[in-house]
Amino acid sequence: MRQVAIAVMMLGASSCAVVGPSCIERRQSGHVATLNGSVAAGGVARHAVTYAIEGSQNDVHLTWPGQLAAAPPRLAFYATRATCEAFDPAAPLGPCAILGRGGWADGQIATTLIVTNGRGNPDVLGMPPVYTIWVVGDPDVPSTYAMDITWFFGPDC
């Protein structure tokens, strides 16, 4: 038993990577785009986004002024297929089916919207892979917003 322990320690010390890279070390990510905009009170803004095929998901990090306030502007962000022409959050059907959602929902704020496609996930966006992000404004106040989009591939550690 002692000989096995010594052998394992020697292999580990010699950098043979018997165990392999850690879960965190196998993760990959990169920047896709940064989008900024404004939306009128009760209005809707639209952004076409080219999906970064390097990853198995695109993470859309959402920020807007006052989002951490006690009564924040209630912006909602939805991802749909690019073929969606007139998004209605009350009836998201066909090409306007919701692929990802973030922002204000039921009294909570989700600061990340995730879109998955390819590389281990079903290809739902077509070729070239493009999706649309719809920003639905607060019913009472106009707002500005920013979306920082990154791609991710690897294990969930």
Mean predicted lDDT score pLDDT of the chain: 87
pLDDT in tens, 82-138: 999 999 988 888 999 999 999 999 889 999 999 999 888 888 998 999 999 999 999
The gap between the terminal CA atoms of the chain, to the nearest Å, is 32
In the block, tokens 């966006």 appear at: 125
Q: What is the mean pLDDT of residues 16-30?
A: 75
Band of residue 3 on the pLDDT scale cut at 50, 70, 90: low
What pLDDT, on a 0 to 100 scale, did the predictor assign at position 7? Answer: 46
What is d(CA 3, CA 66) in angstroms, rounded to the nearest whole number?
62
What pLDDT, on a 0 to 100 scale, did the predictor assign at position 10? Answer: 46
* Total residues belonging to the chain: 157
pLDDT at 20 exceeding the cut of 80: no
Band of residue 17 on the pLDDT scale cut at 50, 70, 90: very low
pLDDT in tens, 25-84: 888 889 999 999 999 999 999 999 999 999 899 999 999 999 999 999 999 999 999 999
Band of residue 2 on the pLDDT scale cut at 50, 70, 90: low
pLDDT at 18 exceeding the cut of 80: no
Which amino acid does the sequence have at 156? D
Question: Does residue 145 contact residue 36 with C-beta atoms inside 8 Å?
Answer: yes
pLDDT at 149 exceeding the cut of 90: yes
Domains of the chain, start order: 27-153 (2.60.120.380)
CA atoms within 13 A on the CB side of 90: 0
What is d(CA 43, CA 87) in angstroms, rounded to the nearest whole number?
12
Q: Model's pTM, two decimal places?
A: 0.82
Side by side, the strands of the sheet bearing 112-116 are 28-39, 143-153, 57-63, 112-116
